[in-house]
Amino acid sequence: MLNKLILRSQELLENHPINIKRKREGKDPANSIWPWSPGYKPEMKTITETYGLKNGVVISAVDLIKGIGVYAGLESIDVEGATGLYDTNYEGKAQAAIEALKKNDLVYLHIEASDEAGHEGDIDLKIKTVEYLDNLVVKTIFEEVRKWDEPVTIAILPDHPTPCRIKTHTSEPIPFIIYNPQIEADNVNIYDEESVKKGYYKVLYGDEFMNTLIGKK
């Protein structure tokens, strides 16, 4: 059925007015649908049900993350200028997260830029995206919430490595930070794959990270 739909879409799109215009302008036509990553709807509790939270928000320009967030019971917030690439609106996302934190128990802020730079194999661009994330997002949020009367826990982590050397995802453990103003910090002062191994949490598996973050462990 999928093969038939793909072939039929090519017939329909060949002479679509938009494609005729694109070809006239010397641009590539959008000449086929391409169904991707099919699967079954999983049976699972929402994040709020699982961890006893009142509400939560997902902020992302990537459809996959938005979809997972919505299915997990989070409200999806769109940010103007958010692209899912390295030219995304970092400041806008940071401000959206701050506003969402005022009304929600959990805010998942996702930024894709460094992953895209890794896929392109561009080490200089990847460094810039990490610097943007640090200075425009993490610093902005941290300096705001530290002034609040109610303590805010912050976690910083990638979902997977994307080394520039191979331009694709790998399955190695990822480094993470959990900042809780009510918990004394360990002695690790550098955030990278090797330094965090000496940290308090060591290696977490499965749902241990979320249980630790939410305070169930």
Same domain as 208, residue 126 = yes
Which tops the pLDDT comparison, 217 or 130? 130
Q: In angstroms, rounded to a whole number, what is the distance separating the alpha carbons of residues 141 and 155?
A: 12
Same domain as 82, residue 33 = no
CA Rg value for the chain: 21
The H-or-E segment that residue 18 falls in is: helix 17-24
Range of the domain at 135: 52-214
Same domain as 64, residue 104 = yes
Same domain as 19, residue 62 = no
Same domain as 87, residue 2 = no
Is a pLDDT exceeding 90 seen at residue 38? no
Structure tokens, 77: 């917030």
What is the structure's pLDDT at 41? 76
Same domain as 116, residue 32 = no
Same domain as 175, residue 91 = yes
Report if residue 149 sits inside a domain: yes
Q: In angstroms, rounded to a whole number, what is the distance separating the alpha carbons of residues 120 and 129?
A: 13
Q: Is the full-model pTM beyond 0.85?
A: no
What is the structure's pLDDT at 36? 82
Same domain as 24, residue 91 = no
- Indicate the pLDDT class of residue 213, thresholds 50, 70 and 90: very high
What is the structure's pLDDT at 216? 67
Q: Which tens digit of pLDDT belongs to each residue from 50-108?
A: 999 999 999 999 999 999 999 999 999 999 999 999 999 999 999 999 999 999 999 99
Q: In angstroms, rounded to a whole number, what is the distance separating the alpha carbons of residues 213 and 188?
A: 18
Report if residue 135 sits inside a domain: yes
Look at the chain and report how many structural domains it folds into. 2
Of 94, 99, 133, the C-alpha closest to 113 is 133
Q: Which tens digit of pLDDT belongs to each residue from 139-191?
A: 999 999 999 999 999 999 999 999 999 999 999 999 999 999 989 999 999 99
Same domain as 106, residue 27 = no
Query: What CATH number is given to the structural domain containing 87?
Result: 3.40.720.10
* Residue found under tokens 């320009």: 61
Report if residue 46 sits inside a domain: no
Same domain as 24, residue 115 = no
Same domain as 149, residue 89 = yes
